[in-house]
C-alpha cells in the first residue's frame, strides 16, 4: 500500500512516520511539504538518518492521486483548500488538521477562519474509531478527532448515551503535555517559561469545545453546552481529562462500572481500569491506549470520570492509523501493538 503524508515535518507527521515504520502493510511512504521541496528528510531531522533519507516532495495533485491513502497533518485552514479536488478521486484521506470536524458555522465561529466547502464537509466522517467504525470503513474522507475530544468522548459517551449521568452541568478539566502545541517555537512553548510551571489557557475558548459537543450530539444525542478547561503541563506527551457530573437518579457506581466494561469489552485500545493509588499518563505513554477510571463520591453522588491518552498516538497519529486499518481491512492493532513506555 502506498501512503502519503502531507505536513510530515510537524509532530503529527513525525509520529505517523514512527508508527507506520513497523506497519506490515505499507510498501512506501511519500512525504509532502509546502516548503523545503527536495530536501532529504533526514537532513531536516537527523534522528531519521538511515531510516528516512528520502527527499520531501512538492504537494502536487497528480502525485497524490496515485496513492492509496493520504494523511494530512497540517495547521488548520490548509486542508479545507487543498483536499476538495482529491476527495473521492482515488486515495482515502485521513485529515488530522481539524478542518473537517465541525459544521461550517461552528468552524467559522471557533477557528475564526473560512470553513471547508459544504460539499466536501458532507463527505467527511468523524473518525472516533470505537464509536464510528462502520462509517469510517467506507468513508472517502475521515476527520481524525482532536486530542482532547478523543480523551473526553471515549470517557463520557458510555455514561451519556446510557443516561447514567446528568449532562446539564458537565464540567471537564483537561491537561496536556506541550507537544500538543506543535513544533513552532513561541513564548508559550519556550522551555525556560514552560518548564517547572503549570498553565491554564484558552478558558471557555478552546476550539475543541464544539468538537466535543458535536460528538456528544452525534453519538449520544445530547446537546447541552459543556464547560471545558485546558492546561499545559511541563511534560512532552500525555493528556489527562477529568469529567465531573452528577449521577442520574438511582444509578449506582456498580452500574456505571458495568456499563463501561460492557461498552468497551471488545475494544483493545480502551481499558477500563480498576481503582488504584495512582492513575497517570505514563501508563499509556507511546501507545494507542485510552485508559479510563471511574469514581463516585457517595457524599455528593457525583461521578468523576478520568481518561488518559498519549496525545500524539491515540490523540493523533495512532488513531489515524487505526482508522486506516479499519478502511483497508487490516487487523485494527496492526502497527499499533505497542506496550506503553511506563518508564
Q: Which 135-194 residues touch a second copy, going by CB under 8 A?
A: 169, 171, 173, 175, 177-179, 181, 183, 185-194
Shortest gap between Cβ of 21 and a second copy (angstroms)? Answer: 5
Among 103, 108, 197, 261, binds a second copy (CB under 8 A): 197
CB-based contact 91:85 (threshold 8 Å): no
DSSP alpha helix (H) spans, 221-268: 253-264
- Interface with a second copy: number of residues (CB under 8 A): 90
CB-based contact 165:226 (threshold 8 Å): no
SS3 307: strand
Binding piece for a second copy, criterion CB under 8 A, among 93-101, 125-133, 141-149, 275-283 = 275-283
Binding piece for a second copy, criterion CB under 8 A, among 12-20, 82-90, 113-121, 122-130 = 12-20
Question: Quick check: 304 binds a second copy (CB under 8 A)?
Answer: yes
Shortest gap between Cβ of 246 and a second copy (angstroms)? Answer: 7
Alpha carbon of 177 to those of 20, 87, 294: distances in Å? 23, 33, 22
Q: Provide the phi-psi class of 88: left if phi over 0, else alpha when psi is between -120 and 50, else beta.
A: left
Shortest gap between Cβ of 60 and a second copy (angstroms)? Answer: 26
Query: 199-238 mask for a second copy (x: CB under 8 A)?
Result: xxx-xx--------------------xxx-x-xxxxxxxx
Separation of alpha carbons 277 and 322, rounded Å? 31
- Which among 8, 141, 143, 147 is annotated as catalytic? 147
Chain residues 280-299 in contact with a second copy, contact rule CB under 8 A: 280-286, 293, 295-297, 299
205 burial level (CB within 10 Å; 0-12, 13-18, 19+) = exposed
Question: Quick check: 85 binds a second copy (CB under 8 A)?
Answer: no
Question: Quick check: 339 binds a second copy (CB under 8 A)?
Answer: yes
Separation of alpha carbons 3 and 151, rounded Å? 27
Separation of alpha carbons 8 and 6, rounded Å? 6
Question: Quick check: 266 binds a second copy (CB under 8 A)?
Answer: no
Identify which of residues 38 and 274 has a Cβ nearer to a second copy in the complex.
Answer: 274
Question: Quick check: 22 binds a second copy (CB under 8 A)?
Answer: yes
Of residues 103, 70, 86, 85, the one with CA closest to residue 4: 70
Among 28, 37, 49, 103, binds a second copy (CB under 8 A): 49
Phi, psi of 227, deg, nearest 5: -105, 130
Separation of alpha carbons 32 and 276, rounded Å? 45
259 catalytic? Reply is no
Question: Quick check: 265 binds a second copy (CB under 8 A)?
Answer: no
Active site residues: 147
Amino acid at each position: 500500500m502506498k501512503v502519503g503524508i502531507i505536513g510530515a515535518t510537524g509532530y503529527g507527521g513525525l509520529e505517523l512516520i514512527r508508527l507506520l515504520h513497523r506497519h506490515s502493510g505499507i510498501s512506501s511512504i511519500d512525504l509532502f511539504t509546502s516548503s523545503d521541496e527536495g530536501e532529504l528528510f533526514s537532513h531536516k531531522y537527523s534522528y531519521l538518518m538511515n531510516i528516512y533519507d528520502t527527499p520531501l516532495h512538492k504537494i502536487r495533485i497528480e502525485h497524490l492521486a496515485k496513492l492509496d491513502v493520504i494523511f494530512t497533518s497540517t495547521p488548520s485552514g490548509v486542508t479545507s483548500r487543498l483536499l476538495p479536488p482529491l476527495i473521492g478521486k482515488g486515495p482515502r484521506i485521513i485529515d488530522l488538521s481539524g478542518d473537517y470536524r465541525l459544521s461550517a458555522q461552528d468552524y467559522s465561529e471557533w477557528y475564526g477562519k473560512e470553513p471547508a466547502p459544504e460539499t466536501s464537509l458532507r463527505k467527511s466522517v468523524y473518525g472516533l474509531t470505537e464509536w464510528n467504525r462502520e462509517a469510517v470503513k467506507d468513508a472517502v474522507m475521515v476527520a481524525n478527532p482532536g486530542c482532547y475530544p478523543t480523551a473526553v468522548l471515549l470517557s463520557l459517551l458510555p455514561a451519556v448515551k446510557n443516561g447514567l449521568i446528568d449532562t446539564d452541568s458537565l464540567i471537564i478539566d483537561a491537561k496536556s503535555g506541550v507537544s500538543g502545541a506543535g513544533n513552532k517555537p513561541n513564548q508559550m512553548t519556550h522551555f525556560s517559561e514552560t518548564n517547572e510551571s503549570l498553565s491554564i489557557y484558552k478558558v471557555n475558548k478552546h476550539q475543541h469545545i464544539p468538537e466535543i459537543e458535536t460528538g456528544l450530539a452525534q453519538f449520544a444525542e445530547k446537546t447541552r453546552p459543556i464547560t471545558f478547561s485546558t492546561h499545559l503541563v511541563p511534560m512532552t506527551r500525555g493528556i489527562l481529562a477529568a469529567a465531573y457530573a452528577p449521577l442520574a437518579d438511582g444509578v449506582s457506581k456498580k452500574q456505571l462500572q458495568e456499563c463501561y466494561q460492557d461498552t468497551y469489552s471488545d475494544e483493545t485500545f480502551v481499558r477500563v481500569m480498576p481503582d488504584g493509588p495512582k492513575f497517570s499518563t505514563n501508563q499509556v505513554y507511546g501507545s494507542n491506549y485510552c485508559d479510563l477510571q471511574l469514581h463516585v463520591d457517595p457524599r455528593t453522588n457525583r461521578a468523576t470520570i478520568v481518561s488518559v491518552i498519549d496525545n500524539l498516538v491515540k490523540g493523533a497519529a495512532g488513531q489515524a492509523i487505526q482508522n486506516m486499518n479499519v478502511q483497508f481491512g487490516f487487523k485494527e492493532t496492526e502497527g499499533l501493538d505497542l506496550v506503553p513506555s511506563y518508564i
